[in-house]
Structure 1
């Protein structure tokens, strides 16, 4: 592909005049090539494109468009003459640090009768940089829209989740209130029954001593002894107080669970910031989720001294619930969940650690993202930790996590003792 010594005329003698005249008007570069790749014709746009794109000093004194032939891969002309058309795109770096993209199409000479076809072809080169930039910009905006949609969907899902929890909380609070009434009188009745039983057992003891002291017919004494043996009265009088004590303890536990449920479920738009005992909040939440973890984990509490913390109690309860449930689910067989607390420099911290399977290092940066979950499909929504993160941020706190696969995970929640107050206007 050696350039001729001087530039040929704009239209070669053997190029059809009609095609050459049309090509001269086109904005795309048009080249006419022989079968061996010799350049026979180039329109003005081809010369202009070569001068614009060729590095300084690479366009010789001969045919400027000759430089464009370097863009054609080996075998391209042969492919075009055989198939009738060949096309590809290439990118070139420009001197200003930018990039130019060209689309090159080779067309076999179909304008000649078959007998006159000599293997020559046309090359049409178009600068598609603007199209590529528009496409990239559209792709960028499409990606931004997708991300915005995902954020919006996440926010919507969190709102739905919050509304759902609020509805469940209102329902639970109502149920707890209804349960409290029968529990109250059963507890009271058990106390009264325990007192009655104590009096009856005392009376039976006195009566028994009287029987043993004589004064009753032998037949009557024998009948009493027979009934006493049949009803196993000695065992009953010993077991009844224990039964009643256990029943009262059970009722008291139910009362505590119901109260914890009321405390946990108290939520709503009108909930006020309240000074809260976080240890009581932790115990209440543990009572609620105990059924989720009691078969898999032993809970160890290492509570420090905490001042009352200004917070939204129901939301902080939800934070503890999400982390405790996750800790229980992370333990495959038996393990330990440890809860530690402390405070310093106007902040309190709650550290919840487990001996579960841990979180892969690659997943740690994403665990607070909406809809991200490491649980199997159908076992998690991917919203629990996202909501947890949002609640802690709302309280001007922070949540930290560390994990070692196969050893366990540690969540550390840090909250200010007092919420920051907004500065007065103009202050």
Structure 2
């Protein structure tokens, strides 16, 4: 009895290897994208940490002044002496500024926590299971990760509709949204606007990322989803972002379309089924 592999088993093995190669490419591109964003994320964290550190130095000075006042309670010869110390340390200003200092420091720490949580959510490269997910939360996570790429290039406008949870691999959808947002920022030459729209349409949800950038020329439009095709300068892009985004959306049985007018801007439209048919048969 022959143990030779059948053509079908050869094909299954080839498909498995192709899927494995695609996953490795996907993870490599994701890690490369996170690497490119790392400097921006470090800057985003450094800002609040910087003013929290500055506030702690001010707090040290304030505490020394307050300790002078409290320690004088036991040694002051009269109430007038205490009042004089209170006046010298400008107690009223110190009290009000302490409240502002603590509120600002708390806000800074919350910002750092938000960025770290976003990076943690975004970097789940091992996630491969389709689960119901909150698309808006995924978009907000992605916006937190790419904030430093966007804030100097565009105002971000959210036009969110009511959406149900969507059966998807949310980390992969986040990666697609990140690619579209970063591309939108790169397409804007000075300062513009990036609009993110969401809506439900029948049994699908639609996510649109529209920019007021330079647009895509007609001769390039049919090639933008080709692997390694890029119009960016050497070293500025791998040419894999849109190609892998297209593959991710195909894997989700959705579609990724583009409308673009040179000189006016581009709109990428991502359509996803609310439930995955193959998973629910």
Pick the TM interval, shorter chain: 0.7 to 0.9
- Write the distance in 2 (CA, Å) between the matches of 1:253 and 1:155: 38
- Write the distance in 2 (CA, Å) between the matches of 1:307 and 1:332: 36
In the alignment, which residue of structure 2 is the partner of 1:352? Answer: 209
8 Å contact from structure 1 (residues 296, 333) kept in 2: yes
In the alignment, which residue of structure 2 is the partner of 1:241? Answer: 99
Q: Tell me the TM-score normalised to structure 2 length.
A: 0.74
* Contiguous gaps of at least 5 residues in structure 2: 1-17, 36-44
Q: What do the CA deviations read for 1:82-136 (whole angstroms, capped 9, x no partner)?
A: xxxxxxxxxxxxxxxxxxxxxxxxxxxxxxxxxxxxxxxxxxxxxxxxxxxxxxx
- 2:177 is paired with a residue of what secondary structure? helix
| Residue 147 (structure 2) aligned to one of 272, 285, 290 | 290
Aligned length: 236
- The yes-or-no answer on 1:162 pairing with 2:26 is yes
In the alignment, which residue of structure 2 is the partner of 1:255? Answer: 113
- Write the distance in 2 (CA, Å) between the matches of 1:359 and 1:293: 19
In the alignment, which residue of structure 1 is the partner of 2:253? Answer: 396
- The yes-or-no answer on 1:340 pairing with 2:197 is yes
- 1:321 is paired with a residue of what secondary structure? helix
Q: What do the CA deviations read for 1:27-85 (whole angstroms, capped 9, x no partner)?
A: xxxxxxxxxxxxxxxxxxxxxxxxxxxxxxxxxxxxxxxxxxxxxxxxxxxxxxxxxxx
In the alignment, which residue of structure 2 is the partner of 1:407? Answer: 264
| Residue 82 (structure 2) aligned to one of 224, 228, 243 | 224
Structure whose residues are more often helix by fraction: 2
8 Å contact from structure 1 (residues 170, 266) kept in 2: no
Deviation at 1:393, TM superposition (A): 0.5
In the alignment, which residue of structure 2 is the partner of 1:279? Answer: 136
- 1:283 is paired with a residue of what secondary structure? helix
- 1:359 is paired with a residue of what secondary structure? coil
8 Å contact from structure 1 (residues 158, 383) kept in 2: no
- Write the distance in 1 (CA, Å) between the matches of 2:166 and 2:215: 30
In the alignment, which residue of structure 1 is the partner of 2:3? Answer: none
- Write the distance in 2 (CA, Å) between the matches of 1:223 and 1:387: 74
CA RMSD of aligned residues (A): 3.4
8 Å contact from structure 1 (residues 397, 414) kept in 2: yes
- Write the distance in 1 (CA, Å) between the matches of 2:154 and 2:113: 24
Deviation at 1:221, TM superposition (A): 3.7
In the alignment, which residue of structure 1 is the partner of 2:41? Answer: none
- 1:377 is paired with a residue of what secondary structure? coil
- Write the distance in 2 (CA, Å) between the matches of 1:383 and 1:282: 21
In the alignment, which residue of structure 1 is the partner of 2:219? Answer: 362
Q: What do the CA deviations read for 1:367-423 (whole angstroms, capped 9, x no partner)?
A: 000111111222111110001000000000001101111111000000000001279
Q: Tell me the TM-score normalised to structure 1 length.
A: 0.50
Deviation at 1:272, TM superposition (A): 1.4
* Contiguous gaps of at least 5 residues in structure 1: 1-153, 172-178
In the alignment, which residue of structure 1 is the partner of 2:123? Answer: 265
- 1:421 is paired with a residue of what secondary structure? helix
Q: What do the CA deviations read for 1:244-263 (whole angstroms, capped 9, x no partner)?
A: 11111211221122111111
- 2:270 is paired with a residue of what secondary structure? strand
8 Å contact from structure 1 (residues 260, 285) kept in 2: yes
In the alignment, which residue of structure 1 is the partner of 2:242? Answer: 385
8 Å contact from structure 1 (residues 168, 265) kept in 2: no
- The yes-or-no answer on 1:326 pairing with 2:183 is yes
Task: Tell me: CA distance 1:313–1:378, structure 2 relative to 1, closer, same or farther (3 Å).
Answer: same
- Write the distance in 1 (CA, Å) between the matches of 2:221 and 2:85: 72
Task: Tell me: CA distance 1:301–1:366, structure 2 relative to 1, closer, same or farther (3 Å).
Answer: same
- 1:371 is paired with a residue of what secondary structure? coil
Deviation at 1:220, TM superposition (A): 3.4
In the alignment, which residue of structure 2 is the partner of 1:72? Answer: none
List aligned pairs for 1:154-193, cutoff 5 A: 159-164=23-28
Task: Tell me: CA distance 1:158–1:231, structure 2 relative to 1, closer, same or farther (3 Å).
Answer: farther
